[in-house]
Amino acid sequence: MTGAALKAAKGLIRDFGELEQLQVSKKGPADFVSKADHRAESVIRAELAKARPGYSMLLEETGTVEGSDTSNRWVVDPLDGTTNFLHGIPHFSISIGLERDGEPYAGVIYSPIADEMFVAERGTGAFVNGRRLRVSGRRRVDESLFATGVPFLGLPDHALALRQVGAVMAVSSGIRRYGSAALDLAWVAAGRYDGYWENGLNPWDIAAGIVLVREAGGFVTDLAGGKRMFTGGGILASNTALHPELIALVGSARTEPATAGA
């Protein structure tokens, strides 16, 4: 998994360096970035298939690839943070997760520009560049820093996301929105964020990060405290002390406030 990520990262770093020239072109960089995304996925797919020929795959660009091994499935996002990449912002990642019998089992998240390789496997711990990770030890929301993602044009739940941000913003040390769900989860595992939540993500956004947070001692659920992270329930990750209060804060925003005179 790490080998596949490193090999794909070489192309992404090269393409990212060429974006500066594309920013001033009439056509713009969007088509170029799409090609970079597909190239990275092709490299990862080839490397993983070579290492484990029978494993199934779920890839952001290609979709489902059935394999002879029905117990193991790779879940791949070749470029998480595409909008950042598109705008020349050096905050994006490669995310490779492994599901075993339907459960997240191992994960790799690589930040090419920072050269940080986050890895985790069930029962063995979480690490970044060989250093053991632990989630934050903070226990008070008013001292905690949280991350989230907000929907952009064409996605639903804009009003809900704003209510969630408002509820958490009012009682916390701050909220960050950096644009890569995989790195948000990796940073929760590293204790940089005290918690993270987001609505409506896809499995390839979060499969690797779930393992990282859990192996770093954290707790991951959907936004209702259940297990529907891969089926539209959103995701919430934090340490075990903050998790109940963050669930309550985000949950309180699900109800539309009453309008005057209603």
**48-104, pLDDT tens digit by residue?**
999 999 999 999 988 999 999 989 999 999 999 988 988 889 999 999 999 999 999
pLDDT of residue 21: 64
What pTM did the predictor assign?
0.92
Per-residue pLDDT band at 28 (split at 50, 70, 90): low
> What contacts 173, CB < 8 A, 6 or more positions away?
142, 143, 144, 145
pLDDT exceeds cutoff 80 at 167: yes
| Residue type at position 144 | S
Sign of CA dihedral 30, 32, 34, 36: negative
pLDDT exceeds cutoff 70 at 261: no
Q: What is the set of domains in the chain, with CATH numbers?
A: 2-132 (3.30.540.10), 141-252 (3.40.190.80)
> How many Å apart are CA 108 and CA 211, to the nearest integer?
9
| Phi, psi for 251 (deg, rounded to 5) | -65, -30
